[in-house]
Homo-oligomer: A and B are copies of this chain.
Amino acid sequence: MKNYSIAKSRRIRSTPYTSRIEKQGVTSYTVYNHMLLPAAFGSIEDSYHHLKKDVQVWDVAAERQVEISGKDSAKLIQLMTCRDLTKSKIGRCYYCPIIDDSGNLVNDPVILKLAEDKWWVSIADSDVIFFAKGLASGNKLEVKIFEPNVDIIAIQGPKSFSLMEKIFGKVITELKFFGFDYYNFKDVKHLIARSGWSKQGGFEVYVENTQSGLDLYDQLFELGKEFNVKPGCPNLIERIESGLLSYGNDFDNNDNPFECGFEKYINLDSNINFLGKDKLKKIKSEGIKKKLMGVEIEVENISLTGSLNITDNNGKLIGDLRSACYSPHFKKVIGIAMINKPFCKASETGKLEIEDKTLTVKVCDLPFI
């Protein structure tokens, strides 16, 4: 497939780390929350093997924060998500589907509770800030909403723990999964969470002090040599194998959380008030009409640039393929597809056409591993 260059501008802005990753060999970008997000440093498959074995440092500044603070902040946060946050704790991260009035998805951020009246919504690729502002204004809520100057560095991979211990001491290894706390790097305090967009383990540093973040970035590479540290980015293969869903790729504002397998984050029985609650109750009682499923595709390799229709043997549309890659682990092409009823169950088969070839598609359960 031919490569096209990305036209940079202030509108799809660089991060504090961009000049560094360009010296380190980034080859490809995507755009995420109006910002550059590295998509490859050469071979994605090589990077996948490295991520599963050693440690990588990622420029994920494009994971922007929406800061919501003030008297009614907890009320607004709860209004936006179907996950019950009444028992949420300061110092914890919560994966929360954001839902609109129709019961459809707006985003799937991780929400950090910084204080009883202060939250960071660490967003996937859609402008949650304007949804929050619209809701706050319409409901006359006393809140302050803005995008703070936070540029995340992720440290991912099995050796991330050793590397981070070398910099922050043993205390950092005691942080629990989806917990966060504050740690000093050369006298500057950084919020660090045990989280990240891979299943290989690791941390995310929410950098507010840009200069200190740049120093930390350099230090990670300096002290990481013994762990074979490399620059990296969210890896298409690793995230599909691990079943990490991507807003905009695997689901969007035309899909509801039941269709995406988010049942455990939908609390319909609690007394909380959130958007789309009645719609979700109705969907639950009537049942869903389509569902995100895994697929295996009989082909050597694949490179997806958009949705691909999946049909049954009579040519009837039964779903669409949304993400796919060759999986070194399964030694076959796997993907994530939205499949209509009654085809959305394991072992159903369908077909798809790509570059004039007709390929067989086998439906399977998610996650793959």
Contact = CB atoms under 8 A, between A and B. Distances in A.
Contacts of A230: none
B2 A253 contact: no
Contacts of A39: 7
Nearest to A21: B4
A130 interface: yes
A101 B10 contact: no
Contact of A5 (B27, B128, B248): B27
Contact of A4 (B28, B101, B128, B133): B28
A40 B7 contact: yes
A307 B9 CA distance: 9
Interface string A15-37: 00000001000111111001000
A210 to B, nearest CB: 14
B137 A100 contact: yes
Most buried by B among A29, A34, A127: A127
Contacts of A13: 306-307
Given A129-B253, A253-B129, A28 B6 contact: yes
Contact of A14 (B2, B6, B305): B305
A285 interface: no
A65 B218 CA distance: 44
Contacts of A248: 9-12, 34
A57 interface: no
Given A26-B4, A134-B133, A304 B10 contact: yes
B9 A6 contact: no
A347 interface: no
A3 B2 contact: no
A307 B12 CA distance: 11
A163 to B, nearest CB: 27
**What is the interface residue range for chain A against chain B?**
35 or more
A125 interface: yes
A126 B126 CA distance: 8
Contact of A138 (B4, B40, B137): B137
A100 B144 CA distance: 12
A132 interface: yes
A132 B22 CA distance: 38
A126 B133 contact: no
Contacts of A100: 130, 133, 137
A275 interface: yes
Interface string A246-279: 1111000100000000000000000000010000
Contacts of A331: none
A173 to B, nearest CB: 33
A106 interface: yes
Interface in A206-255: 246-249, 253
Given A13-B306, A306-B10, A101 B30 contact: no
A3 B249 CA distance: 25
Contacts of A27: 4-5
10 tightest Cβ-Cβ pairs between the two chains A and B: A138-B138, A134-B134, A11-B248, A7-B39, A127-B127, A130-B131, A31-B31, A8-B305, A3-B5, A134-B135
